[in-house]
């Protein structure tokens, strides 16, 4: 992978998305964010050790004002880790990255803030700063990761579409790696069913890899977004993909492996999920199928549950089906609509999924009034809200 190729898919300023600022409940004071970036840039430190330092000192900035001999008394904090603590190279790098975050309106989650992904927070090696772009909402959501080989077969493609179609009723967030094969297939299927999907990247947010998947960027941004712990200068190198895999495993309550050879990143992700005490599922295949060998091995070694359909996952994760059935019944019981409500229903029945702005224009309503109207219809079980301020009939 040459440098020139990577440079070819840098996003321009015009390409940068507008981050939904309302999705971030709290921001670090700038001096604390700067200090957190400095900690993240020190190569010998790592996230586990950085968290120990922050816990001991009370904040990222306090780490840089505490006495070195006191820091060395912290359990498993050695002089080699702290050797670069006050090296100005890290401060200069942090300043440049802070400037990048400001100029490109990149969002971030600090690991002690309430909007930091709940499942990931419980992973001991989760990053202290997680960068994102898009319209991501994980609160109260079911989250699963789906991964697999980049050389997906037709059978794998069919299973991805069937799995997402059958799970769509439960409105899960689908996490994957935005890579070739199973990853992009399952993320496209999620978007087709109006589900949030998150692409975990192995590089900074000023680029997309593989570059061919740039055509899906806007759709992902409207139906979820992207997560990474990598800085703007980071390239899609092998070591970064391995770090990316722990995000995929850590964000969700379960990881599904659709197809995998005897080796590969999918198996790494599955093993990480198992280490995090998350459920792992694998789709079985014939012993002669090259891209079923990894899945069969996971099942044979009792590292994964056999997954033959979405129902296996729903039962194992104890997802609530009563609530979903009651919503459908509620819609049937409601027969009286106001004229403007009927106008919205007719619009959605004819055009399918629509954005809030389009519905407001069609009905001749201010966006604020239209939002209230849509909420009433949702409470009546007539429509369903979708990520990105889209709505469709229930």
Query: Looking at the domain assignment, is residue 134 inside a domain?
Result: no
Model confidence over 288-311: pLDDT tens digits? 889 899 999 999 999 999 999 999
CATH number, residue 30? 1.10.150
Same domain? 161 vs 304? yes
Same domain? 285 vs 162? yes
Round to the nearest angstrom and report the end-to-end CA distance of the chain. 47
Query: Looking at the domain assignment, is residue 14 inside a domain?
Result: no
Same domain? 151 vs 252? yes
Same domain? 297 vs 363? no
- pLDDT of 129 > 50? The answer is yes
Whole-number pLDDT of residue 257: 97
Q: Pick from 316, 335, 351: which residue ends a domain?
A: 316
Query: Looking at the domain assignment, is residue 337 inside a domain?
Result: yes
Q: Pick from 53, 80, 103: which residue ends a domain?
A: 103
Same domain? 310 vs 337? no
Same domain? 160 vs 245? yes
Domain encompassing residue 268? 143-316
- pLDDT of 357 > 50? The answer is yes
Rounded CA separation 98/302 (Å): 45
Average pLDDT score over residue span 153-177: 95
pLDDT band at 379 (very low <50, low <70, confident <90, very high): low
Query: Looking at the domain assignment, is residue 257 inside a domain?
Result: yes
Same domain? 292 vs 328? no
CATH number, residue 266? 3.40.50.450
| Residue at token pair 């089906």 | 321
Q: Parallel, antiparallel, or unpaired for β 224-228 and 254-257?
A: unpaired
Same domain? 309 vs 174? yes
Name the 3-class secondary structure at 260.
coil
Same domain? 155 vs 258? yes
Q: Pick from 316, 337, 357: which residue ends a domain?
A: 316
- pLDDT of 23 > 70? The answer is no
Whole-number pLDDT of residue 196: 97
- pLDDT of 22 > 50? The answer is no
* H or E element in which residue 52 lies: helix 46-57
Whole-number pLDDT of residue 321: 58
Rounded CA separation 157/336 (Å): 42
Model confidence over 74-86: pLDDT tens digits? 998 999 999 889 9
Query: Looking at the domain assignment, is residue 79 inside a domain?
Result: yes
Query: Looking at the domain assignment, is residue 118 inside a domain?
Result: no
Same domain? 304 vs 187? yes
Whole-number pLDDT of residue 387: 59
Closest CA to 194 of 3, 5, 384: 384
- pLDDT of 19 > 90? The answer is no
- pLDDT of 391 > 50? The answer is yes
Out of 144-158, 167-181, 320-334, pick the least confident. 320-334
Model confidence over 227-266: pLDDT tens digits? 999 999 899 999 999 999 999 999 999 999 999 998 889 9
Closest CA to 225 of 122, 127, 124, 108: 108
More confident residue, 10 or 220: 220
Rounded CA separation 265/242 (Å): 7
Same domain? 348 vs 379? yes
Count of structural domains within the chain: 3
Same domain? 259 vs 185? yes
Closest CA to 273 of 293, 255, 299, 296: 255
Model confidence over 360-378: pLDDT tens digits? 888 888 887 888 788 778 7
Query: Looking at the domain assignment, is residue 127 inside a domain?
Result: no
Query: Looking at the domain assignment, is residue 45 inside a domain?
Result: yes
More confident residue, 375 or 115: 115
């Amino acid at each position: 992978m040459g440098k020139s190729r990577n440079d070819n898919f840098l996003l321009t300023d015009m390409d940068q998305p507008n981050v939904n600022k309302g999705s971030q409940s709290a921001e670090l004071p700038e001096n604390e964010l700067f200090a957190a970036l400095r900690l993240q840039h020190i190569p010998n430190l790592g996230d586990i050790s950085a968290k120990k330092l922050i816990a001991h000192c009370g904040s990222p900035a306090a780490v840089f004002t505490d006495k070195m001999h006191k820091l060395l008394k912290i359990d498993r904090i050695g002089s080699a880790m702290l050797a670069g603590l006050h090296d100005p190279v890290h401060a200069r790098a942090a300043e440049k990255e802070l400037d990048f975050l400001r100029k490109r309106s990149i969002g971030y989650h600090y690991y002690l803030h309430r909007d930091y992904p709940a499942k990931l927070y419980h992973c001991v090696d989760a990053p202290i700063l997680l960068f994102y772009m898009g319209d991501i909402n994980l609160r109260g959501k079911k989250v699963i990761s789906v991964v697999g080989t980049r050389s997906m077969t037709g059978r794998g493609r069919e299973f991805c579409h069937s799995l997402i179609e059958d799970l769509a009723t439960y409105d899960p967030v689908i996490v994957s790696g935005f890579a070739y094969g199973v990853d992009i297939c399952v993320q496209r299927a999620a978007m087709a069913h109006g589900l949030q999907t998150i692409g975990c990247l192995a590089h900074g947010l000023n680029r997309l890899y593989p570059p061919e998947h740039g055509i899906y960027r806007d759709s992902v941004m409207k139906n979820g977004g992207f997560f990474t712990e990598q800085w703007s200068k980071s390239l899609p190198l092998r070591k970064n993909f391995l770090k990316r895999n722990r995000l995929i495993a850590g964000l969700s309550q379960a990881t599904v492996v659709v197809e995998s050879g005897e080796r590969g990143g999918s198996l790494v992700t599955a093993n990480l999920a198992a280490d995090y005490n998350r459920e792992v599922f694998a789709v079985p295949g014939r012993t002669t199928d090259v891209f079923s060998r990894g899945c069969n091995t996971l099942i044979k070694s009792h590292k994964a549950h056999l997954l033959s359909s979405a129902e296996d996952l729903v039962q194992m994760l104890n997802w609530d089906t009563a609530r979903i059935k009651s919503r459908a019944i509620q819609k049937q019981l409601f027969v009286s609509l106001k004229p403007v409500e009927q106008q919205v229903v007719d619009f959605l029945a004819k055009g399918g999924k629509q954005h809030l702005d389009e519905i407001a224009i069609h009905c001749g309503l201010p966006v604020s009034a239209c939002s209230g109207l849509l909420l009433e219809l949702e409470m009546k079980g007539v429509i369903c809200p979708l990520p990105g301020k889209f709505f469709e009939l229930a």
